[in-house]
Amino acid sequence: MTGTKVTVETIRAMKARGEKIAALTAYDFPMTRLLDEAGVPLILVGDSLGMVVLGYPDTTHVTMAEMEHHVRAAARAKPRALLAADMPYQSYTTVADAVANAQRLAAAGAEAVKAEGGRDIVEQVRAIVSSGIPFLGHLGMLPQHVLEEGGYHVKGKNEPEHQALLADAQALAAAGAFAVVLELVTPLVAKELTQAVPIPTIGIGAGPHCDGQVLVTPDLLGMLPWYDLKHVKPKLNAAEQMRKVVKEWKLGVEGQMPKH
């Protein structure tokens, strides 16, 4: 895609100008290129690939090698968009691991990395940023903690969670994060966090008051009809259209008579 390259400074400036940030996930070359041609400024190679590409039950099964593989594929599209990548489960437990694995993703083509957590990973965030790799935060419902939390739960519904989210968002901003994803945070708390921190907030299932929104692209396109999605209404029924086209093609193949 032609045009000025999107950087972390571009994303930060969008908040300052009051421009909403649209972000989507991609896991391969064609999807990255299509999203980039559509003008999406922030593309995330998410560890959601575990469920939507690899068939895992949750993101905790995704490995560094798998993330590197998909980041390389996405990076080959050479997007104008800022290309960020998730750090997979347990890849940033220590500061040393966090920096080493962030560097692996950057070497694969990621221009920023994302990890889940707030004050509990602030030293890792500082070290990653100090190493020259931009960092995107992730607060609220943390998919990599789904097993220990026993499911996916909305956060910010009580005062302790409210105050913890506020402290975590402020800590990430102070540590150098250029933006933060808010997943399944109550809309009122998401609005407060958006007003309280100087960096952009990018919501998913967190109401309309964030500085931007991010979705898992297959969810947006209706490519996963086997899942009941509460936070997004698909804009396209791609799964049904794909079935229809394949069935028509199959009937055509089956109806071909051999030439004698």
| Inside any domain, residue 15 | yes
Band of pLDDT at residue 260, cut at 50, 70 and 90 = low
| Inside any domain, residue 139 | yes
Q: Provide the token pair at 94.
A: 């220590």
Tally of structural domains, the chain: 1
Task: Please provide the DSSP assignment of 45-89 as one string.
Answer: E-TTHHHHTS--SSGGG--HHHHHHHHHHHHTT--SSEEEEEPPT
Query: What's at 66, amino acid-wise?
Result: E
| Inside any domain, residue 26 | yes
Q: What are the C-alpha distances in Å from 201 to residues 30, 81, 240?
A: 27, 18, 34
Residues 231 and 183: beta-carbon distance below 8 Å: no
Band of pLDDT at residue 245, cut at 50, 70 and 90 = very high
Q: How many percent of the chain have pLDDT more than 90?
A: 87
**Range of lowest pLDDT (12-16, 147-151, 169-173):** 147-151
Radius of gyration for the alpha carbons in the chain, expressed in angstroms and rounded: 19
The pLDDT tens digits of the residues spanning 189-225 come to: 999 999 999 999 999 999 999 999 999 999 999 998 8
Query: What's at 155, amino acid-wise?
Result: K
Residues 62 and 49: beta-carbon distance below 8 Å: yes
| Inside any domain, residue 2 | no
Phi, psi of 211 (to 5 degrees): -75, -15
What's 25's DSSP letter? E
Residues with active-site annotation: 183
CB count within 10 Å of CB 104 equals 19
| Inside any domain, residue 260 | no
Task: Enter the pTM of the model.
Answer: 0.94
Looking at residue 185, which CATH number applies to its domain? 3.20.20.60
Angle subtended at Cα 238 by Cα 63 and Cα 217, rounded to the nearest 5 degrees = 40
Band of pLDDT at residue 1, cut at 50, 70 and 90 = very low
Q: What is the rounded distance in angstroms from the CA atom of residue 78 to the CA atom of residue 99? A: 24
Q: What is the pLDDT of the chain when averaged over all its residues?
A: 94
Residue 90 sits in which domain range?
A: 8-255
Instruction: Using the predicted structure, report yes or no on whether residue 12 has a pLDDT greater than 90.
Output: yes
What's 162's DSSP letter? H
Residue with tokens 């560890």: 47
Q: What is the rounded distance in angstroms from the CA atom of residue 246 to the CA atom of residue 163? A: 51
Residues 112 and 134: beta-carbon distance below 8 Å: yes
Give the closest residue to 32 by CA, choosing from 129, 116, 109: 109
What's 155's DSSP letter? B
| Inside any domain, residue 3 | no
| Inside any domain, residue 226 | yes
| Inside any domain, residue 92 | yes
The pLDDT tens digits of the residues spanning 19-55 come to: 999 999 999 999 999 999 999 999 999 999 999 999 9
Give the closest residue to 202 by CA, choosing from 62, 14, 35: 14
Band of pLDDT at residue 149, cut at 50, 70 and 90 = confident
